[in-house]
Amino acid sequence: MKWFYNNILGQLTSFIIGVIVVPNILEEIVMAVFQFNFDSDIWYEILDTSIMLIVGIPFMWWLLKKMDTYVEEMERLVIQRREINDELMEKNNELTHLAYYDQLTGLPNRRKMHIDIQERITKMTRLGSPKKLAVILFDLDRFQQINDIMGHAIGDKVLCCAAERLKERLPDNYQVYRHMTDEFVVLAEIDDIPDATMHKKPFMDIFKESYNIDEEEIFVTVSAGVSLFPDQSDDSETLLRQADQALSAAKANGGDQYQLFDPELAAASARKLKLENGLRRAAERNEFVLHYQPQVELESGRIIGVEALARWVHPELGLISPYEFIPIAEETGEIISLGRWVVKTACKQLREWQDQGHHLVMAINVSPIQMKRLKFPGFVASELKKNGLSPEALEIEVTESLMQNLDESKRIFNDLKELGVKISIDDFGTGYSSLSVLGAMPIDHLKIDQAFVRFMDTNPKLRPIVKTIIQLGENLGVELIAEGIEEQHIAEELTAYGCRYGQGYLYSRPVPPEEIVRMIEQEHAV
């Protein structure tokens, strides 16, 4: 039945049936049943009209009622649809806000930032704007400490306070975004490169004031990196990466810094990343080699030992200095595997030399990280046993920084001394050890840092320092080895001061193992 009143065709059909067809059928039935035979046609018309009124009016009334119901239903559906559309629009706005705005701070997020950067670049390019777009990436120095010590709830409040300060105190044409964790980005159109640092002081000063959170006074500084369009790039990802490289440089300089992007930073970062990736496979690809620098008795010039020094022959970059790759290895943790390889290779080489009749002391540099994280004394004992070496033929060189933790250092040193290996403090005079610490440690040698020895001629103040170090070693009952000897008269002076051993370019640069054998054989031939 709904079809008859839910569409126009049905309504028209119902009207014809109810008002025309049915009354005419009833009229014919009445005429046939009662056999009316009127003399005048008017009576036929009266009968016809009466039947039509009796039958058609109720049907018309019923049909109109149905149509009213249909109209009301339609109105209800229209209202319902409008409410659904309003609700969908509200949900869509909520989803859009979640997609483009940070829930914690209310600032536009990283996705919105990239869109805005590209829109600004497009607009400035189209209009031929002479201005530059500065992308300023900064983060809160040592923010992780706040989270670790005070909890993430306090950390979140600090981030919210930082966001509020930025919105309130930066100029209106500076747009602020939350990038990630404790990082924020500020976009600003400037007139020239000097303007990129024009607001440096007020920008950094925003964070000089402390935050009072939950009755705690918290001080936070920031480090910032800046890249510029169109000077560096016209791409948001590249600009942000460049700002991040500048930020890393600012943090490397101690934080609380504001650093403009320098193209050399990109090259340095790319090189460092290549080295980091290469270090992970260098040992298994046999890219490391050990060179050995002779250690000599200063008075006679006789070789009494060698120091094993790692060299990295990179397949693309060539020979990499240990001053470059060792810090990266320590930073990435690859120093553990590198250190194991050095010890294994040096012990194997020492065994080979002993088999040839050359009895030397092998000095091996060991990173403090390696000493602490690896069960180092046990590892050394295993390598000595595997190669059939006497412990006295091995000397472990460590830097003074290891001795900052006295209890741990003393335990490791004592374990090594129980094996019978020698212990040497490398780069002595540049670290943090105190006399009381030195006196408590089972040390065999102190190595005078080459920074003192090499410049004794050009800086007279270094001579009394070197004398004092040598006298200190004598008083402690340990031998001194001077590094960086390049001139014969320096070797003679050191001998006069009481230093017995040394190494440096005067005697030999670090060389392959076969060159050490040649030098020893030449020595014996004299």
At 233-247, the pLDDT tens digits run: 888 888 998 898 888
d(CA 161, CA 169) in angstroms, rounded, equals 12
Query: What's the CATH fold of domain 110-261?
Result: Alpha-Beta Plaits (3.30.70)
* Cα dihedral 71→73→79→85 (10° resolution): -120
pLDDT band for position 70 (cuts 50, 70, 90):
low
DSSP 158-213: HHHHHHHHHHHHS-TT-EEEEEETTEEEEEEEESSHHHHTTTHHHHHHTTTS-EEE
List, in sequence order, every residue forming a beta bridge with 39; answer none if it has no partner.
none
pLDDT band for position 511 (cuts 50, 70, 90):
very high
Alpha-carbon distances of 448 from 39, 83, 208, rounded to whole Å: 148, 84, 43
**Residue 431 pLDDT exceeds 60:** no
d(CA 486, CA 38) in angstroms, rounded, equals 149
**Residue 263 pLDDT exceeds 90:** no
End-to-end CA distance of the chain: 125
Among the listed ranges 179-188, 271-280, 403-412, 494-503, which one has the minimum average pLDDT value? 403-412
Are the beta carbons of 225 and 244 closer than 8 angstroms?
yes
The pLDDT score that the predictor gives to residue 69 is 72
The residue ranking higher by pLDDT, 455 or 203, is 455
Q: Which residue has the tokens 């800086």?
A: 459
**Residue 432 pLDDT exceeds 60:** no
The pLDDT score that the predictor gives to residue 285 is 87
d(CA 300, CA 296) in angstroms, rounded, equals 8
Residue 17 is given by DSSP the state I
Are the beta carbons of 196 and 190 closer than 8 angstroms?
yes
SS (H, E, C) 15-58: HHHHHHHHHHHHHHHHHHHHCCCCCCHHHHHHHHHHHHHHHHHH
CA 163 from chain center: how many Å? 22
- What is the residue-averaged pLDDT of the chain? 83
Average confidence (pLDDT) over 284-301: 92
The pLDDT score that the predictor gives to residue 14 is 64
Average confidence (pLDDT) over 388-398: 93
Q: Is the peptide bond before 460 cis (omega within 30 degrees of 0)?
A: no
pLDDT band for position 502 (cuts 50, 70, 90):
very high
d(CA 295, CA 305) in angstroms, rounded, equals 5
- Tell me which residue of 314, 192, 214 sits closest to 322, measured CA to CA: 314
Question: Residue 309 carries which side chain, given as an amino acid letter?
Answer: L
The pLDDT score that the predictor gives to residue 55 is 64
Q: What percent of the chain has pLDDT over 90?
A: 27
Alpha-carbon distances of 186 from 163, 176, 240, 453, 523, rounded to whole Å: 11, 5, 11, 50, 68
Q: Which residue has the tokens 């369009």?
A: 229
| Residue 468, token pair as written in the block | 């004092």
CATH of domain 282-525: 3.20.20.450
**Residue 5 pLDDT exceeds 60:** no
Rg (CA), the chain: 45
The residue ranking higher by pLDDT, 404 or 304, is 304
| Residue 394, token pair as written in the block | 């091995």
**Residue 255 pLDDT exceeds 60:** yes
Average confidence (pLDDT) over 352-361: 93
**Residue 501 pLDDT exceeds 90:** yes
The pLDDT score that the predictor gives to residue 233 is 83
Residues 6+ apart with CB under 8 A from 294: 303, 305, 306, 503, 507, 508, 516, 519
Sheet containing strand 175-180, edge to edge, reads 175-180, 183-190, 132-140, 222-229, 258-260
**Residue 301 pLDDT exceeds 50:** yes
Average confidence (pLDDT) over 15-38: 66
The pLDDT score that the predictor gives to residue 198 is 47
The residue ranking higher by pLDDT, 352 or 203, is 352
List, in sequence order, every residue forming a beta bridge with 89; answer none if it has no partner.
none
Are the beta carbons of 174 and 196 closer than 8 angstroms?
no
The residue ranking higher by pLDDT, 161 or 269, is 161
pLDDT band for position 254 (cuts 50, 70, 90):
confident
| Residue 487, token pair as written in the block | 């001139």
- Tell me which residue of 60, 49, 58 sits closest to 26, measured CA to CA: 49
